[in-house]
Structure 1
Amino acid sequence: MEIKKLLRLPLKVAFSLAALLLVLLFTQPLYAVPRAQQTEEKDLASEIRVLLEGRKLWLNYPISTKRFYEQKSYTPQWLTVSRQDKAWASMLLLDCVLQFGLSYNDYRYNEHLPSTLHDIFEKPNHVSLTQQARFEIMLTDDMITFVNQLHFGVLNPSFTPGFIDSTDNEFRAETVMANAMDQEKLMKVLAGVQPKSKEYQRLQEYLSSSIRYSDNCYEIPEGELQNVAMNMERLRWAAIEEDNYILVNIPAFNLKYYYADTVNEFKVIVGRPSTPTPQLQSQIEYIITGPDRNVAGSVFIKQVLPNALKDHHYLENNQITIYDKKGAFVKADRRVLTSIIKDPSGYYARQAAGCDNTSGAILFSFPNIYEVSMHDAPDKTAFEQADRALSKGGISIANADSLAALLLKNSGTASRLKEMQEAIISYKKKTFTLNKVMPVKVVYLTSDVLNGKLVSYTDIYDLDRSLQSIMFPSVRPLSMR
């Protein structure tokens, strides 16, 4: 079978055939001839150094690529007889990028086709030293690009290619590459840099199994598969590396708390399209009970009630909530306000301490640059609605007391559970610090795979269209299909 056709087969089949090919490669006398007899590695190393130091190549990650070779004294890492299996494996990966939700357009696959690699090993005298050095460097840059895109994503707003390349990040693709080259299973090591979340794994498996193969090539995914690829991209931005974390999915109106192989799910209320909840990463450090302050009785009677009657947005704009003397939330429309103002003695008001929304009895410390809060909600009936894009950007959680109890218990402070429950009931302001902070990822996923089936959520902020136009510029927007 021709090598090019091998590299256009479905992933599982291609890997199996690649293994067979490698056996043949190492058992044929042709490949048993050391490359040193054809072209001295030191000469190739010198040429690699000349090209890198002369900056004669356009690379996606020039600093990372040069650093990779500096650590190896510029010696070739692919074009050696001991590493040719790694070279072929890397070519297989580059031919399968669609199955990872990536695009061929970001790689120079056409500049180093399998036929070129074949000629370098089989007919080295037909490939100049400069061409070999160029091939070596380009393949390394492509593989570093592949690793960075798998880990950070292609369009990560916080980690652009230039930032990744020039900044000393904790994650370095060239270090991953160097380690992978020394491992038996290069593919497995590189694929391991992907997000660890269950959502990502489900989407990746679904996409990989759904990519169509025809006419000796993989077809660009369309329709729902583009949506899967886009949501994989968003999950790369979320940088989920932990086993225990909280994931808030805005379009699904839900919160999932992952801890010790268990998942607890809660309904949430998120921002309206006019005041959207942003995608972000933060962590819960402590929980506050009774976070709002009571409005003085005289202020309630003389200011709050009259202003609320005049302006039906007054209570919301000032984060004020009205309760009866039993502590029950009062949905204050004009009719109810008219009744209360006649006899206000059976009612009182609370004003949220934060700048976003009424916090109810529980506030989760959730620092972020957007000043978005995550909290309980006084009006429990809102969670019964299917469309819960109702807030000014904050995240309200149904059964927030249950989530708070789980966080306290799992952080090793279960001894304070009773104290917290009493503080919630009495609406007493107290702070409960977690022994270990809980990572929180707020994401925007318009699709998920549940029980093997793709589930779609409403694109409430209309974000898919803009992302699709960048990732798949030559196809019609999803909204027009």
Structure 2
Amino acid sequence: MERLSSNVWTVLLWLAVTGGVLSLGSAQAHAGPPQPKPAPVAALSLRTALDTVALGSAATYTQLGLQAGPAVQQFYSQRDFTPAWTHADSAGWNHNARQALALLRCAPEYGLDPATYSWSILSALPDSLHYLAAKTATLAGYELRLTDALLRFATHLRYGRLHPLTLTPIVLTQPQTQEAVDGLRQALASPELTTAFLSCQPTSRAYCQLQQAWSATLRQHPDSLHPTTGNAADFRRVALNLERLRWDLQRPDSGDYALVNIAAYQLQLIRNGQVVQSHRIVVGKPDTPTPTLDSRITVFVTAPEWRVPYSIAVNEMLPELQNDPGFLADNNYFLLDYRGRRVNPWRVNWQRITPQTFPYTIRQTAGRHNALGNIVFYFTNQHGIYVHDTPARALFREPKRARSHGCIRIEKPLELAAFLLKREGQQAALPDIRRSIATHDRCRYDLAGGLPIRIRYYTCEAQNNHIRYYADVYCQDEAVAAAFFKP
């Protein structure tokens, strides 16, 4: 049976023994009038164990085996070092501790590993200990370690285990420490500790659906409760995506917004947590991936011209022009110089033009042939991407649709336009939109409020209580998994 590390046990045993001896000597020397009742042995042991004066904070917490030492210190300081999980007069866990241990054991239901929180060690606390000193030391050690585990578990449930940008383990800030301590204190005061404790989780629609569907899956197959048994591949995939969803904690799930899931090739319109519209999409190729971001659709344009991005112009079109200057006219493009004046491509010595010296802008005229299709939706971002129609409608029938240069091509774009106009009270403009498309006359529609758009990369999600898994088309799971499951 696993135990606390020997150095932790030794320190706490020494504290308990010396504390007991000093108390005994003092009582013998001052027999006579009644003295004030001393502090309970367990509270004294916790106070002494967490005293950082002799060794310093870092060394004290390391010797005690605490990974969230400052948070543990704050938790017990606020309760005057009274034990929260152990009985003061007998060995063993109390009722709240047994609930807490059951919760840690079920960490896989939340995409987390019980081993991260020393569950097997904590659950091995003996039911009875024969010597007072050993009992006090052991109880104090287990008490501190359980609090440490619960504070870290709460933080991971709320914010994730990794920093989303660096993929390094999250370090508790003072606000997060206070939040974890307050949450644990409130859970202890609640008649139902487990429910109160779990209230720290994100409340977004996507997170709740995935977590609940995964929890139901594990409860149907108890043998796969541990991440290293059963279907470990499914656990890893769900764990990574629950982590990603925790990174989105600060994003409100109320109101209207567009959610793009790159891996699912899907754009959904969400209203107060419910999907009201769904579109198939085409996303960037692995070598020109669609980025994840947050922005707001503020304008859309019908019958647009396409200004060819410089990278496409020099990498894909320049070789075509060097072979045949008629390539532009054949595909409804025209050439502009730096002043915006049209240039005859037949009068350019294309063999002397290189990607480094390319001085032109290429545009494509509006119409059914245009790469942007009949309508384009703009939102501010540093990547120069947008959502747009496409003349290549057959792509939407393909199961794998990572085919663009990074922009998002959308099926049934007029339905998205209608949704946007209705939100703005401009639905009367719909006939004008169809007319401008038919006549290839460019029209611009500004949105007063705009629509938030979130572009994400989730390789699994829950729909109707079933988990759907998607191909990791950009191989992004690999980097997150390497950090998340690092021993």
* TM range, smaller chain: 0.5 to 0.7
Q: Deviations over 1:236-288 (max 9, x none)?
A: 223354134432111110011221334311122211100112333x1426234
Q: How does 1:27-106 map to 2 (within 5 A)?
A: 39-40=40-41, 42-47=43-48, 49-50=50-51, 54-55=57-58, 56-58=60-62, 59-79=66-86, 84-106=94-116
My pick for the range that moved more, 236-245 or 216-225, is 216-225
Answer yes or no: is 1:428 the counterpart of 2:464.
Answer: no
Answer yes or no: is 1:111 the counterpart of 2:121.
Answer: yes
Q: 1:268 aligns with which of 253, 256, 281?
A: 281
Q: Deviations over 1:367-406 (max 9, x none)?
A: 4xx5253322343524344322122223333333433442
Answer yes or no: is 1:398 the counterpart of 2:411.
Answer: yes
Q: 1:150 aligns with which of 138, 157, 165?
A: 157
Q: Deviations over 1:168-216 (max 9, x none)?
A: 3599322222222222222112323333344433432343234344599
Answer yes or no: is 1:257 the counterpart of 2:269.
Answer: yes
Aligned match of 1:446 = 459
Secondary structure in 2 matching 1:203: helix
Aligned match of 2:14 = none
CA-based RMSD of the aligned residues comes to: 4.3
Contact 1:289 1:420 in 2 (8 A): no
Q: 1:177 aligns with which of 184, 193, 210?
A: 184
Secondary structure in 1 matching 2:396: helix
Residues 141 and 303 from structure 1, CA distance in 2 versus in 1: closer, same or farther, beyond 3 angstroms?
farther
Aligned match of 1:365 = 379
Contact 1:61 1:144 in 2 (8 A): yes
Contact 1:203 1:449 in 2 (8 A): yes
Read off the aligned partner of 2:104 and give its amino acid letter: L
For structure 2, the 5+ residue unaligned runs are 1-36, 308-332
Read off the aligned partner of 2:285 and give its amino acid letter: R
Aligned match of 1:329 = 369
Contact 1:202 1:449 in 2 (8 A): yes
Residues 459 and 132 from structure 1, CA distance in 2 versus in 1: closer, same or farther, beyond 3 angstroms?
same
Q: Deviations over 1:72-130 (max 9, x none)?
A: 344433336799322211111111112221113321224322534x44xx878354544
The size of the alignment, in residue pairs, is 397
Secondary structure in 2 matching 1:106: helix
Contact 1:44 1:75 in 2 (8 A): no
Secondary structure in 2 matching 1:329: coil
Q: Matched residues, percent identical?
A: 21
Residues 168 and 192 from structure 1, CA distance in 2 versus in 1: closer, same or farther, beyond 3 angstroms?
closer
Q: How does 1:190-269 map to 2 (within 5 A)?
A: 190-211=197-218, 212-214=221-223, 220=229, 221-239=231-249, 241-244=252-255, 245-260=257-272, 261-269=274-282
User: TM-score normalized by structure 2?
Assistant: 0.67
Contact 1:152 1:159 in 2 (8 A): no
Secondary structure in 2 matching 1:77: coil
Aligned match of 2:12 = none
Aligned match of 1:375 = 387
Contact 1:63 1:166 in 2 (8 A): no
User: TM-score normalized by structure 1?
Assistant: 0.68
Read off the aligned partner of 1:149 and give its amino acid letter: H
Residues 401 and 179 from structure 1, CA distance in 2 versus in 1: closer, same or farther, beyond 3 angstroms?
farther
How far did residue 158 of structure 1 move? 4.1
Contact 1:278 1:393 in 2 (8 A): yes
My pick for the range that moved more, 291-300 or 451-460, is 291-300
Higher-Rg member (1/2) = 2
Residues 420 and 85 from structure 1, CA distance in 2 versus in 1: closer, same or farther, beyond 3 angstroms?
farther
Distance 1:158 1:67 in 2: 29
My pick for the range that moved more, 371-380 or 246-255, is 371-380
Distance 1:200 1:127 in 2: 44
Q: 2:343 aligns with which of 302, 312, 315?
A: 302
Read off the aligned partner of 2:413 and give its amino acid letter: A
Distance 1:440 1:170 in 2: 32
For structure 1, the 5+ residue unaligned runs are 1-35, 332-357, 475-481
Contact 2:267 2:279 in 1 (8 A): yes
Residues 394 and 81 from structure 1, CA distance in 2 versus in 1: closer, same or farther, beyond 3 angstroms?
farther
